[in-house]
Structure 1
Amino acid sequence: MKTSFTLTTFLLLSIFTFSQSGTIKGTISNTTSSPILGVNTIIKNTIKGAQTDQDGTFEISNISDGDYILSISYLGYKTKEIPFSITNNGTLDLGDIVLYEGNELLQEIVLDTKRKNKFARKQSAYVSKMPLKNIENSQVYSTITNQLLVSQSVNNFEDALKNAVGVNKLWSSTGRSGDGAGYYSIRGFSVQPQLVNGVAGITNGFINPSNVERVEVIKGPSATLFGSSITSYGGLINIVTKKPHSGTGGSISVAGGSNDFRKLNADVNVSASDKVSFRFNAGYQKDNSFQDYGFKKSVFVAPSISYKVNNKLTLNFAYEASDNEQTNQTFLFFNRSAPLLFNTVEELNYDREKSLTNNDVVIKNITQNYRGEAVYKISDNWSSQSIVAGGLAKSNGFYTYLFNSANSLNFALYAQDTDAKTRTMNLQQNFTGDFKIGDLQNKLLIGVDYLESTIIDQSSGWGYLHSVNAQGDLIFSEPEVNADNLKAILSNLDRNNIETKQNVFGAYISNILNITPSLSAMASLRYDRFEYKGDINDPSDDHQAYDESTFSPKFGIVFQPILNQLSVFANYQNSFSYINPELTAIDDNDPTAGTQLQSFDLEQANQLEFGVKTNLFNNRLEATVNYYNITVDDKVMGFGASKQQDGTVKSNGIELEVNASPVNGLNLRGGFSFNDSEVTKSASRSDLIGLRPAEAGADILYNFWGDYQFTQGFAKNFGFGAGFNGSSDYNTMNDYTTSGGFTLPAYTVFNASIYYENDIFRISVKGNNITDEEYYSGWSTLTPQQNRTFLASFDYKF
């Protein structure tokens, strides 16, 4: 009986196995006939699937007879579905399958935590407003991946940007109206992070990295595709937020550390079907200053949803709201019109442990951003992307600053009761095509965008509270800094009633022509029209209304001696700035002299750049080395009544960035940049000729981070990381030659971590600034940076 049962079981299993012996296979490539590695091929409504190998081939076995649909998807490419049938347990060869590049659809995001080179990302759909591999893009950009942020236990946006080569922090976020986000220098020019998911976004105040999927630092003048309102001559910073994806899961994270740091974050993704995915990300974070007073805290929620209506239409929506509160970080503003009595930190003798503020002197920021997107697949070759985006940022509370008194070592504290908000609304329509004309492959982008911004300011005037020295001692018998004393001096001051509006309309076209599989050329052109309406609450302010239009070109060429592994590139890029007319004093030293209206022409920036990019050893070595030269003409020089549009600024430099994974488990990232920036022409400010502008920051910057996780043996899943970042010294007062200058010292900051991570959880301990280096940032200011801190974190994944 037992033998009979065993024989029957064996026969049934044999029949079952034989009945599922069908096979489907094929080869997947892109429009240049290059095989694509890692493409997901899944038989719909089953668990059967496979990924393509380095030759682009795949094979799925053990398929029973029947009719099926094969779904083929890969990040940056349009999903393709192919019906097929298996009969008589046969093998079906689909032959060559071509994927067409498309928008970065949310449902095509693949969470690949096992990829080798975790600190590199091969392509982006945002940098050129169309999916394009880094190695075939003639523009240089740095991508800070989520895996890198996790490896470094990053909990603030400033630390994230230390991983981008050539980015120098000038100012921390102040939270004040209009320009409250931090300032950074890229290629010799200041910039703020004002791009979220490829469109204008408000980041006034604290940016919570818990909702950041990656950061893209796009280098060089980039107004051709993005306009002038959110870019600088050195580049722009694009924040890519976390989005829904197929599958159900998430994580819960808690962290704590020095200076009473606390963090709690929950990130949950639900995909009830292959049509709808929903993600909800929320968190709380608080961090006290290392000084005697000071703190930052933030609460945020970020729901997002993706709905695949059908095989042609996908709707995506993302929203983020944050409630932030912080004390004003210490900013010592240096006198700009008189010689300083100190030129170094040592001579100033500043006590960096003193914040010169109080914990009830706070500014609050409520920030909201939304982005709705409809992606329509017109055909295999054409797609449409329609975007409606906008945001609201409010600033309420006390904004204070300390200004160095003339011919003195003392600083006067001025305050404002801030009550302001900024609204933006952005409409964008893009059409992308991937097609051939004869034997020439074209990737075409045609788009229009409209950006409207409104700033409403009902803040108080500025009031003086007291004067202190650099050690925090009161100079006179004046009130201490606290909320009650500030309210008393500000309560009787007149309040603003200002509402300014501006709007920008842009139309652009960009085409990448593949002359051969190894040689491509890009040509782009933008038409931009800007309108500034002045203060609409002040009828007498009509004379400040301003409108102007311009064209902005961009060209690039890429040659790949080794296809998809080595490229040589060159580009010409353009940016411009509209300078609003200003009502200024005729004589800064004589208030009775009256005012005058100053109007200006466009500032223009042009860049020439060339370099080399690699993607070698099966994606294990990604590197970029490049040289750039930027010239800005018609630069407005000076301040107030002395403003003249007669300047020329030149900025050139070299950059090197490397992402490597030499062996399994080891990931390395490093960068070095040198920038030479100077004023070369200005009749009104001849004293600045030959000097480096203060906004250019340090001329030498460098960064490195390495992470190694054991993949086998008794230490499997344990890992450690270590790295550093640093800067040369620089004169932060070069724009004010009468000051005598102030030099911020060079520094190198070392960080290290140790962790254990598996598929269920990650636990880590991180040390930042482990040598307790004393270092500073500034832009005609001095701000002490974080001392040594330790952080422990725990992440549970489900």
Structure 2
Amino acid sequence: IGEYTDLGFALMGDFTWNNGFSALLGVRYDTIDVESRQPSDKLLFASSNNFCPPPGGCEDVEADDDVDGVSWTASISYDFADGQFIPYFTASEQATMIVGQGAEATVGNVADGGVFDESELLEFGVKGSLLDNSLYYAISVYEQERTDFSAQSIVTNQATETEGAEVEVRWVVNENLLLTFGYSKIEVTNLNTEEAGNRFSFIGCDDLPNIPCHLLYGGTLGGFVANTASDSKRAGMPENIFSLTGTYDFGNGWAVTGSVIDVDSVDSGYSGAVELPEYTLVNLGFSYETENWLFSVSGKNLTDEEYFRSNFPNLFGGVIVLPELPRHYNARVQYKF
């Protein structure tokens, strides 16, 4: 229970010179007044937020603080050969509130000074248009870091360092055919896990291979999982994803769209005991459009690939995985007035 008031002031400028040089510069200042409290008589002991036996005594009942910070961004680029090759560099630092799933500022974070955080981003890339502007490409590498691991909450906010690369290519082959290619490589390190050498997680059957599963389930078993297997890398997030999409417009109202998406295998939880298999999705759709009507039908996962995603990998990665949809179809009729 509480409130916070943010007063901010910002300036931004977008500058372009005739020689091809461009700069986007911005700065913002925020000052935030935060008040938070929790009714001690309604708290459950012991819990993950108040880890002491009844009747309590370890909980923070109320706290208030005044925090402030400066956010800034600077992005520069240079246009070579009339847009065919544009290298750019971006650096940014963002000050932000650390809040929970309900946008609440927890009493503990306010009391510990962890309700305010700063993130940093560095990105370098090249982009441009070729073939009479029919082909657009963009390639980038980036690094982002959230530095205040003391503000980390088990499920919501995490202290992470992210490194990755992205590639995007869009090609208008002719008036009828459009092709798009995408690639993403990402690696996320949990800084708080790296600092501690472990993290709390619920234990699944595969984590204890010498114990029959039926002896585990029906209850909840939790513990601290060492970062030996994961190297503190965030679970449930595939490192490499490829995609290829094509659209062909026949010019008479008919169109066809298809896509292929290939995704790496990935550990479901920090222990590495459960691995989600790699998969390839194939999708295909047809549509017919008139001035007022649109009819479309599409098939998803046409090869009936069996694949899964992790469910809250920070906590339940070794316990629960979620199956995704098998082969299925969608049909739509739309009328435009």
Question: Aligned ranges for residues 143-162 of structure 1 at < 5 Å?
Answer: none
Distance 1:783 1:718 in 2: 36
Distance 2:179 2:240 in 1: 21
Distance 2:8 2:153 in 1: 30
Cα displacement string for residues 231-276 of structure 1 (whole angstroms, at most 9, x for unaligned residues): xxxxxxxxxxxxxxxxxxxxxxxxxxxxxxxxxxxxxxxxxxxxxx
Distance 2:162 2:273 in 1: 21
Residue 707 of structure 1 aligns with which residue? Answer: 247
User: Given the superposition, is the C-alpha separation of residues 726 and 577 from structure 1 closer, same or farther in structure 2, using an over 3 Å criterion?
Assistant: farther
Question: Aligned ranges for residues 263-282 of structure 1 at < 5 Å?
Answer: none
Q: Secondary structure at the match of 1:694?
A: coil
Residue 52 of structure 2 aligns with which residue? Answer: none
Q: Secondary structure at the match of 1:691?
A: coil
Q: Which of these residues, 704, 711, 718, is aligned with residue 254 of structure 2?
A: 718
Q: Extract unaligned runs of 5+ from structure 2.
A: 42-58, 99-104, 199-225
Cα displacement string for residues 108-156 of structure 1 (whole angstroms, at most 9, x for unaligned residues): xxxxxxxxxxxxxxxxxxxxxxxxxxxxxxxxxxxxxxxxxxxxxxxxx
Question: Aligned ranges for residues 688-707 of structure 1 at < 5 Å?
Answer: 688=227, 690-694=231-235, 697-707=237-247
- Code of the residue aligned with 2:330 in structure 1: it is L
Distance 2:23 2:34 in 1: 36
Distance 2:262 2:150 in 1: 31
Q: Secondary structure at the match of 1:636?
A: helix
Residue 620 of structure 1 aligns with which residue? Answer: 134
Residue 732 of structure 1 aligns with which residue? Answer: 268
Distance 1:679 1:535 in 2: 29
Q: Which of these residues, 153, 170, 173, is aligned with residue 659 of structure 1?
A: 170
Partners of 1:529 and 1:550 within 8 A in 2: yes
- Code of the residue aligned with 1:796 in structure 2: it is Y
- Code of the residue aligned with 1:549 in structure 2: it is D
Partners of 1:581 and 1:598 within 8 A in 2: no
Distance 1:615 1:534 in 2: 52
Deviation of residue 601 (structure 1)? 6.6
Deviation of residue 606 (structure 1)? 1.4
Distance 1:608 1:512 in 2: 19
Distance 1:762 1:619 in 2: 30
Residue 25 of structure 2 aligns with which residue? Answer: 523
Q: Secondary structure at the match of 2:147?
A: strand
Q: Extract unaligned runs of 5+ from structure 1.
A: 1-498, 585-596
Partners of 1:546 and 1:581 within 8 A in 2: no
Distance 1:763 1:639 in 2: 46
Q: Which of these residues, 128, 133, 146, is aligned with residue 632 of structure 1?
A: 146
Q: Secondary structure at the match of 2:150?
A: strand
Q: What is the aligned residue count?
A: 275
User: Given the superposition, is the C-alpha separation of residues 508 and 638 from structure 1 closer, same or farther in structure 2, using an over 3 Å criterion?
Assistant: closer
Q: Which of these residues, 684, 687, 700, is aligned with residue 196 of structure 2?
A: 684
- Code of the residue aligned with 2:118 in structure 1: it is Q
Residue 181 of structure 2 aligns with which residue? Answer: 670
- Code of the residue aligned with 1:634 in structure 2: it is D
Q: Determine what percentage of the aligned residue pairs are the same residue.
A: 21
Residue 114 of structure 2 aligns with which residue? Answer: 600
User: Given the superposition, is the C-alpha separation of residues 658 and 575 from structure 1 closer, same or farther in structure 2, using an over 3 Å criterion?
Assistant: same
Distance 2:309 2:173 in 1: 35
- Code of the residue aligned with 2:278 in structure 1: it is A
Residue 609 of structure 1 aligns with which residue? Answer: 123
Deviation of residue 622 (structure 1)? 2.0
Deviation of residue 598 (structure 1)? 4.2
User: Given the superposition, is the C-alpha separation of residues 691 and 583 from structure 1 closer, same or farther in structure 2, using an over 3 Å criterion?
Assistant: closer
Distance 2:36 2:62 in 1: 8
Residue 775 of structure 1 aligns with which residue? Answer: 307
Partners of 2:258 and 2:283 within 8 A in 1: yes
- Code of the residue aligned with 1:652 in structure 2: it is E
Q: Secondary structure at the match of 2:68?
A: strand
Question: Aligned ranges for residues 241-390 of structure 1 at < 5 Å?
Answer: none
- Code of the residue aligned with 2:274 in structure 1: it is F
Distance 1:766 1:604 in 2: 44
Distance 2:108 2:187 in 1: 34
Partners of 1:533 and 1:542 within 8 A in 2: no
Question: Aligned ranges for residues 361-760 of structure 1 at < 5 Å?
Answer: 499-535=1-37, 543-579=62-98, 580=105, 582-583=107-108, 598-600=112-114, 602-636=116-150, 649-679=160-190, 682-685=194-197, 687-688=226-227, 690-694=231-235, 697-711=237-251, 716-734=252-270, 737=271, 741-760=273-292
Deviation of residue 618 (structure 1)? 4.2
Of 668-677 and 557-566, the range deviating more from structure 2? 557-566
Cα displacement string for residues 164-192 of structure 1 (whole angstroms, at most 9, x for unaligned residues): xxxxxxxxxxxxxxxxxxxxxxxxxxxxx
Residue 9 of structure 1 aligns with which residue? Answer: none
Q: Which protein shows a greater Rg?
A: 1
Deviation of residue 502 (structure 1)? 2.9
Q: TM-score, normalised by structure 2?
A: 0.71
